[in-house]
Amino acid sequence: MLITQLAKIPDNPTQVELPLFVSHIRAGFPSPADDFIDRHLDLNEFLIKKPSATFFAWAEGESLCDIGINDGDLLIIDRSVQRLQGDIVVAAIDGELTCKILDLNNMQLLAANPDFPPINITDKAELIIEGTVIHSIKQHRKRSF
């Protein structure tokens, strides 16, 4: 999975609080008890813990589709979090950005799709882990930009 169109988050993102329903929304039959708002939610506060260490990127490709990251998803990447076994990371390999699963036990970057081979980290002289994917956002309507 390649990464396209990087964007840095401003140090002081605009705060926008929107209504947050107290219960989860059912995908089946609705419940009449679920129609009140519990509190407000600011997506900047919820999705971005350290604005100065966070950036956005568009996912491109099919190597992580088996874990729910699809072509066109917006990735929220944090450079400040400690990388752990199994994290989804953005890595620069010979100057090209890719998004893969970090396998520290075997020193590999893995795809979730079995059609893509693992990348051995030790074989790559020019490999930099740029950050950890902390959220991905899906677009359910066609993007106009």
Contact 52, 104 (CB under 8 A): no
pLDDT digits (tens, 9 = 90+) for 69-108: 999 999 999 999 999 999 999 999 888 899 999 999 999 9
Based on the residue annotation, tell me whether 63 is a catalytic residue of this protein: yes
At residue 90's C-alpha, the angle toward residues 84 and 92, to 5°, is 120
Tell me how crowded residue 59 is: count the other CB atoms within 10 A of its CB: 24
The bridge status of strand 108-110 relative to strand 127-137 is: unpaired
Per-chain mean pLDDT for the chain: 83
Domains, the chain, in order of start with CATH, read: 2-8+52-137 (2.10.109.10)
In the set 31, 49, 52, 63, the catalytic residue is 63
Higher pLDDT, 60 or 31: 60
Residue 18 has pLDDT above 70, yes or no: no
Tell me the mean pLDDT in the region 6-23.
Answer: 60
Q: Which residue, 131, 125, 142, is CA-closest to 7?
A: 131
Residues 50-78, mean pLDDT to the nearest whole number: 92
- Whether 100 is a known active-site residue: answer yes
